[in-house]
Amino acid sequence: MLFNSYEFLVFFPLAVMMYFLTPVKWRWLLLLTASCYFYMCWKPEYIVLMMFPSLIDYYVALKMRATPEQNKRKKYLWFSLVTNLGLLFTFKYFNFFNESLRALFEALNLSYAVPVVNLLLPVGISFYTFQTLSYTIDVYRGAVEPERHLGKFALFITFFPQLVAGPIERSRNLLSQLQNLRARFEAERITDGLRLMLWGFFKKVVIADRLAATVNLVYNSPAEYHGVQIVLATVFFAFQIFCDFSGYSDIAIGAAKIFGVNLMKNFDKPYSARSISEFWKRWHISLSTWFKDYVYIPLGGNRTIKWRWYYNLFITFLISGLWHGANWTFIIWGALHGIYLIFAIISRPYKDTLLQLLGLSKRPFALKALQVLTTFALVNLGWLFFRANNLSDALLLLHNLFVLAPLASVFEFITPGALALNLLLIAILELAHYVEKETPFILSLTRKPALIRWPAYVAVTLAILYLSSSSGHQFIYFQF
């Protein structure tokens, strides 16, 4: 079931109404039932695929807690890792590696008889796999106590607001809240949740889906476009993927808030970052912190010799790229970000000298602007690979990017009116980011006078009703 569907507009109010009518003792069961139904709307049998490793992790955690011997505890952990990652590999990566090996064997004139396995990728498998893995690893480390209530543990895995595209929650935050679902029907909390959902829908169906039309046109026919056309489509994709994914997160966080559950912040104005390192502190925060805690630091982090530090960074981002999809374009995207960070570390001793040569050391505003624009340009180069349908398309787009084309060529694939509207929507988004501080823009309006607040709510609602794309688009991160 998509958030941006008529089914959800019926399902969600019913779930909320039944939640507050249900005795506190049985609310976990109501939410678990609703979450399973929400997921089964895609493909009912895949609920088994999600529950099977969840049951294993539930019992593995209890066994680890009851086992004092480190070697035995590690065996239980490995059993969980092999089960979860094995299922993820089978459904998401088997055909990718299989086809890569086939191409290698053919290049060496060797026979290769392993067939292609046609399996439908379960929605959200990467998200719920990482969520349950973090729980098992935390129990192994002694950071959290295992959950003994099987139903509440199952709810931790299936909680529908964040089930299919995050945020990827840790058990010490989400599970502890699901153990005690005592939230009352409080108007302020519920209206805050609805405001967040409204803002999320605006970002998704108005901005992201409108930008998608232009982006898809260029990226699905890479040979036909050049220079400024590719630049515009790539910049549009940068805002499309941000509005699509952060829009989902806003809807998820808002929906959970209505039930009295607080999910973690997943985005923090990433395109205002002044470096790639800062970008990753602001983009998909739940995933970047997951990789930091469960991959980068266990590899040794930065507390090692320099070449090993560079290796740890590069491997972490390479795995992050692979997590996003079974395609060489994602691997290159991850590798690019790893290279960016390594280069930033290597060049750090020369930073002050370079700033003095450029005359920027005493011009903070100009320096910040240059850093933000440079970071945004580097991120967009990565997005080119991320969005390309395959590696050959990515290389063709990269080649055509440097083929000069007049500015007027932009209007070959987008009308002046559509271009102006898209740029206006991006400007509104950035203005909202500029005025907000710690509180999301839509919630910060509560402190404004009614003459400002209510016209803003009406404008956002009317935009959703009249400016949304004519055809609903699935959220981009559902494919991961």
Domain limits at 329? 189-479
* Tokens (6 digits) for 204: 């998704």
321 and 451, same domain (yes or no) = yes
Average pLDDT on 26-38 reads 94
CA distance 339 to 329: 15
CA atoms lying within 13 Å on the CB side of residue 67 = 18
For 256-266, what is the mean pLDDT? 94
Cβ–Cβ under 8 Å, residues 215 and 434: no
In DSSP notation, 379-418 reads HHHHHHHHHSSSHHHHHHHHHHHTS---GGGGGGTS-HHH
Give the confidence band of 18 by pLDDT, cuts at 50, 70, 90. very high
Whether 171 and 274 map to the same domain: the answer is no
d(CA 293, CA 318) in angstroms, rounded, equals 16
Q: How high is the pLDDT of residue 97? A: 84
Q: How many CB atoms are located within 10 Å of the residue 356 CB?
A: 11
Taking 60 as the threshold, does the pLDDT of residue 191 lie above it? Answer: yes
Statement to judge: residues 242 and 124 lie in one domain: no
The answer on 196 and 83 residing in a single domain is no
Task: Give the active site residues.
Answer: 324
Instruction: Scan for tokens 């991961």, then name that residue.
Output: 480
Rounded CA separation 33/25 (Å): 15
Chain-centroid distance, C-alpha 307: 30
Burial per residue of 209-237, b for 16 or more beta-carbon CB atoms within 10 angstroms, e otherwise: bbbbbbbebbbeebeebbbbbbbbbbbbb
What local confidence, expressed as pLDDT, does residue 312 receive? 94
Q: Which amino acid is at 210?
A: R
Q: What is the pLDDT of residues 453-469, one digit of tens each?
A: 788 888 888 888 888 76
Q: What is the 3-state secondary structure (H, E, C) of 133-149?
A: HHHHHHHHHCCCCCCCC
Instruction: Return d(Cα 383, Cα 379) in angstroms, integer.
Output: 6
Are 236 and 129 found together in one domain? no
Do residues 299 and 261 both lie within one domain?
yes
Matching residue, tokens 């029907």: 185
The 10s digit of each residue's pLDDT in 132-171 is: 999 999 999 988 999 999 999 999 999 999 888 879 999 9
Contact yes or no for 165/129 (Cβ under 8 A): no
Asked if 233 and 372 sit in the same domain, the reply is yes
pLDDT tops 90 at residue 442: no
- The residue among 147, 182, 217 that closes a domain is 182
Contact between 159 and 31 (Cβ < 8 Å): yes
Both 148 and 109 in a single domain?
Answer: yes
Question: How far, in Å, CA of 26 to CA of 14, rounded?
Answer: 16
234 lies in some domain: yes
The predicted-structure confidence for 299-327, as pLDDT tens digits, reads as follows 998 888 889 999 999 999 999 999 998 89
**Domain assignment of residue 413, yes or no:** yes
Rounded CA separation 418/389 (Å): 25
What pLDDT was estimated at residue 101? 84
pLDDT of residue 350: 80
**Distance between CA atoms of residues 203 and 160, nearest Å:** 20
Q: Do 325 and 376 reside in the same domain of the chain?
A: yes
Last residue of a domain, one of 150, 182, 214: 182
Contact 299, 293 (CB under 8 A): no
Predicted pLDDT at 121: 76
The answer to whether residue 420 is domain-embedded is: yes
Residue 303 inside a domain? The answer is yes
Residues 84 and 132 reside in one and the same domain: yes
Tell me, rounded to whole angstroms, the distance of Cα 173 from its chain centroid.
19
Q: Which tokens is 81 given?
A: 């890792």
How much of the chain, in percent, has pLDDT values that exceed 90?
Answer: 56
Q: What is the pLDDT of residue 26?
A: 94
Q: What angle do CA 187, 152, 164 make, to 5 degrees?
A: 75
**395 vs 152, 206, 386, 398, CA distance in Å?**
48, 31, 12, 5
CA-to-CA dists, residue 194 to 207, 254, 284, angstroms: 19, 6, 22
Residues 310, 353, single domain; the answer is yes
Q: Quote the tokens at residue 214.
A: 């232009």
Residues 6+ away with beta carbon under 8 Å from 28: 149, 151, 152, 155, 178, 181
Longest dimension (CA), the chain: 74
Are 227 and 402 in contact by the 8 Å Cβ rule? The answer is yes
Q: What is the pLDDT of residues 355-399, one digit of tens each?
A: 777 777 778 888 888 899 999 999 999 999 999 999 999 999 999
In whole angstroms, give the CA distance from residue 187 to residue 173: 24
- The residue written with tokens 């680890």 in the block is 64
In contact, 342 and 308? CB cutoff 8 Å: no
Q: How many domains does the chain have?
A: 2
Query: Do both 257 and 318 map to the same domain?
Result: yes
The reported pLDDT for the residue numbered 218 is 93
**pLDDT number for residue 109:** 81
Domain membership of residue 232 (yes or no) is yes
Average pLDDT over residues 225-240: 94
55 pLDDT exceeds 80?
Answer: yes
343 in Cβ contact with 335 (< 8 Å): no
Are the C-beta atoms of residues 138 and 156 closer than 8 Å to each other? Answer: no
At 74-122, the pLDDT tens digits run 999 999 999 999 988 888 888 888 888 888 888 888 887 778 777 777 8
Confidence of residue 446 (pLDDT cuts 50, 70, 90): confident
The Cα 237–Cα 215 span in angstroms is: 6
Mean pLDDT for all residues in the chain:
89
1 lies in some domain: no
The pLDDT score that the predictor gives to residue 392 is 93
Question: What pLDDT score does 388 carry?
Answer: 95
End-of-domain residue from the set 182, 208, 237: 182
Mean predicted confidence (pLDDT) in 21-45: 91
Provide the CA 4 distance to its chain's centre, in angstroms: 17
